[in-house]
Structure 1
Amino acid sequence: MDKLNTLDDWLAHCERLHPHAIELGLDRVRSVATRMALRFDCPVINVAGTNGKGSSCAMLEAILGQAGYRTGVYTSPHLVHFEERCRIRGEIASAADLVPHFARVEALRGEISLTYFEFTMLAIFSLMATSGLDVVILEVGVGGRLDSVNIIDADCALITSIDIDHTELLGADRESIGFEKAGIMRPGKPVVVGDPMPPQSVIAHAAKVGADLWRLGHDFNFSGDKQQWAWAGRGRRYAGLAYPALRGANQLVNASGVLAALTALRDRLPVTAQAIRNGLGMVELPGRFQIISGQPTLVLDVAHNPHSVAALAENLDAMGFYPCTHGVFGAMADKDLAQMLARVNPMVDRWYFTDLPTARAETGADLMARWQGLNTRQDAHATVFADPVQALQAAVAAADPADRIVVFGSFYTVGGVLKDGLPRLFAPHAAPGHHASSTQT
């Protein structure tokens, strides 16, 4: 084997190791974790769901950091740089810090074959386990029951929205998908369900394993007006809260679940109302309805399934009037593309469909053909491009200063723009570049 010196060397090695990008099941990864004696000596919060996981992890991290706790966060996928998948005490891990832990996984895995996701996850967990943390926040990748993250027992499980996605792996309906998400529950431990209408499979599984179920609308709730919002649940109440710094109406549902999780863990991780206010006020996460001010206005959103695209459409509608909306769109072929396009089509005047650098992606030409197959607006216009940066360049060239450009459909689409396009095209207003979570959706 060639000498592996850098993080890029190790990532290339991981890509060569296993024939499948995703192989659900815990036996192989659990065996290697056991050999590594991998464990966390602090409370662990596991976060699963279809949408809202990254935002919820970021809010938990921000609030707990403001409360003085040493936080560790694992998220996936990443937007631009692999290191974004691991944050220690609010800072993205360095490549140099990660390299020895990749070597440790390699030394101990022996004959066991690991996927890219499994190998890299174990390396990050190894770094986190040696970092003297007070709390660990883990984002579940796909599903829950058979996702590699589920080798770690959660002291509190948080399940965000449950909707149709990854049907080839998780099932074709919300009940099947809910059952998979519910797999992160543990007997006697709190599980917060932030979905306002959870599948019955989630509620049934909590009862079956004896988890302490916290349901939105039953065990906690929130209310608000245009200025502020309030939260109440199980002996704790917060009033006069400012809205989370992450934009979008859906973020209040995410924040409500986060406060329930923190309340459920208050005996082990007490936080003050001030830490909650400060944390929600300063949380940031690129690519989640991220608005970059300038002329034209730029909106970046990793929405990549019908549920998240519907939320994006509502948020775009709430922005007010723009003479022309330009949509840069690239997406995976296994998504419900017709529904995604149909939801946003009424508000996009010019489309810029793009290829993406992965075999899983639909081509820009096929995306345009799908769009043309809709009952499209006669006044709309569409073009195809080889990559997201070229698409964004064309949108910038065509847009008037008062217009709006929306980049969405995949982490690859937004990540490609953040990596190569924004520094050149929007340099004075460039997004917070290095704080994120993507290369699979």
Structure 2
Amino acid sequence: MKAPPDSAFSGEGGVLQGGGDISLDDIFPPLPVGVPWGLERTENLLEELGNPEDDYPTLHVGGTNGKGSLAAVWAQILKEDGRKVGLYTSPHLCSFRERFQIDGKPIPADPLLETAAELREGIARLGLTFFEAATVLAFHLFSKVGIDVGLVEVGLGGRLDSTNVISPQLTAITNVALDHAEYLGYTLEEIAGEKAGIIKAGVPVITAERDAALREIFRQRALEVGAPFSAINPAEDIEELEVSPDGNSFRLDTETWGSMSLVSPLPGRHQAANATLAIRSLELLPEPLRPSGEAVRKGVAGVRWPGRLQIHEGPRGLWVFDVAHNVAGVRALATSLRRLSLPEPIILLVGIQGDKDWRSMLPPLFTMAREAVLTQPPTVPPERRWDPLEAAAAVKPRPNLHILPDFREGLDMARSVAGEGTVVVTGSHHTVGDAMNSLGILPYGRD
């Protein structure tokens, strides 16, 4: 099995916020492409470094959608519990530093560059890919910084993902949907099998996958390796849910902390579900790591995860940024927007990568707007770009379309057409990140 191209993971905008004109070339040596996918290179370099990934307890999260949001909830809860938290996630929106967070803030440029310099020779000698190198960098960084707990998001799949070298205290799998089929398989069952590869002997695993056949794949894997298994249905657990542009409020009964009234700044039913899985999973941690109920409440209330149904009111009107990049993601976005009653008209700015199933993604997007602008995010690698003209001709029925491959022109057109209404920017991490860069919006403020 070939490894995905580096661009499948990178989302690179090229420049690190707050770090001057520092490109990814300043961090990594030239990296190979088209090499076999596996764990050996990552394991070998980590062993040379003394296995820094073992210096702190870790939690591992996989799944198609929602795994980054769940990890962000974990991070804020454990921070509120008084722990120094490292979060490794991908891809980023505007800055490569976003992938490596300490207590909710992207790592500063100086320690990132210093640590990367220590790894360059080993990365080049062992032939690590981009994502493998970033993963080793994360584990080494976190060890040097001295975190109390590391939260690790799977990059792609699970079984052969370079994050799968850790021995976590807990494993969570959010759900399974069609995405990255060329690497993971063209059926949900094949994809679930790859994601089940992060289930490890003796490590509790929990999932919110609702399809019984897919849940059974996870249960069987857990049985084979001897992992305690549990599955939840957040839709049944969540009570008194209220969704607004400001976020969600809901009630959740827990075994550990009793009945909890919770408020989250992340809007959308799917985000309430992500928070529920995060909380339920933390109940499975051993006592020394398990947070207090007060930390859970404060953590859910304080979580920040940019680009996920993020509503931004600026001098040029209302913007919504959402990184939905597969069919399940855009359906969740469409459902949420219908419930939020945002200022009309709603105008879409859409940029999707060419290797995504844009033919299936566009129809649910088109149901939520009377006009849409199809554009080309500039940071998408040339080999992964879509053709907006082809998309416009292929998908019907459709709203009034504006085809503007130039991203800045597309951004300006969407804002002009929306007037005092709402521009929804979506389709990929690139689209959201490039829009934020163009508008001068910093996902994490001036960190």
Q: Same fold (TM over 0.5)?
A: yes
Match of 2:428 in 1: 410
**Structure 2 residue aligned with 1:391:** 410
| Partner residue, 1:427 | none
- Structure 2: which 5+ runs fail to align? 1-18, 243-247
Tell me the alpha carbon deviations over residues 207-240 of structure 1, each in whole angstroms, 9 at most, x when there is no partner: 111111121149x94333338433345x325424
Whether 1:64 aligns to 2:78 is yes
Q: Which amino acid aligns with 1:299?
A: V
Q: How many residues align?
A: 417
Separation (CA, whole Å) in 2 of partners of 1:217 and 1:323: 34
- Please say if 1:133 is aligned against 2:147: yes
Q: Which residue of 2 aligns with 1:372?
A: 393
Instruction: Output aligned runs, 1:413-424, within 5 Å.
Output: 413-423=431-441
Residue identity in the other structure for 2:194: E
Does the CA-based 8 Å contact 1:26-1:146 persist in structure 2? yes
Give CA deviations for 1:342-399 in whole Å, capped at 9, x if unaligned: 1111222222111133124333xx234323323224x623222322x33111211222
Matches of 2:342 and 2:67, distance apart in 1: 30
Secondary structure of 2:287 counterpart: coil
Q: Which amino acid aligns with 1:190?
A: P
Other structure's SS at 1:51 match? coil
| 1:185 and 2:163 correspond | no
Q: 1:246 to 1:326 in 2, by over 3 A?
A: same
Query: Where does residue 426 of structure 1 map in the other structure?
Result: none
Pick aligned residue for 2:55 from 41, 45, 60: 41
Matched residue, 2:273: 253
Provide the C-alpha distance between the structure 2 equivalents of 1:228 and 1:386, rounded to a whole number of angstroms.
40
SS in 1 for 2:189: helix
The letter of the residue matching 2:89 is T
Q: Compute the displacement of 1:15 (Å).
A: 6.5
1:361 corresponds to:
384
* 1:79-114 deviation line (CA, Å, top 9, x unaligned): 001111111123211111012221222233463101
Measure how far apart 1:282 and its partner are: 1.2
**Corresponding residue for residue 271 of structure 1:** 291
Structure 1 range deviating more: 224-233 or 190-199: 224-233
- Alignment TM-score, normalising by the size of structure 2: 0.87
Say whether the 8 Å CA contact 1:368–1:382 is kept in structure 2.
Answer: no
Query: Which of the residues 112, 123, 126 maps onto 1:98?
Result: 112
1:422 Cα deviation from its structure 2 partner: 4.1
Counterpart code for 1:315: S
Corresponding letter in the other structure for 1:133: I
Alpha-carbon contact 2:388-2:403 (below 8 Å) kept: no
Mapped pair 1:16 → 2:30: yes
Report the TM-score when normalising by structure 1: 0.88
Q: How many Å apart are 1:41 and its aligned residue?
A: 2.7
Deviation of 1:42 after TM superposition, in Å, equals: 2.6
Question: Is contact 1:154-1:184 (8 Å) kept?
Answer: no
Taking the aligned partners of 1:339 and 1:329, their CA distance within structure 2 comes to 14
In structure 1, C-alpha distance between the alignment counterparts of 2:20 and 2:411, rounded to whole Å: 32
* 2:170 matches 1:149: no
Partner SS state of residue 242, structure 1 = strand
Pair 411,15 (structure 1): closer, same or farther in 2 beyond 3 Å: farther
- List per-residue Cα deviations over 1:141-185 (Å, max 9, x = no partner): 000110000011111011112110000110011111111111111
Once the two structures are TM-superposed, the CA of residue 117 in structure 1 deviates from its matched residue by 1.2
Counterpart position of 1:290 = 310
Residues 309, 344 of structure 1: 8 Å contact kept = yes
Distance change in 2, residues 1:110/1:35 (3 Å): farther
Are the counterparts in 2 of residues 80 and 419 from structure 1 also a CA contact under 8 Å?
yes
Structure 1 CA distance for aligned equivalents of residues 71 and 138 of structure 2: 16
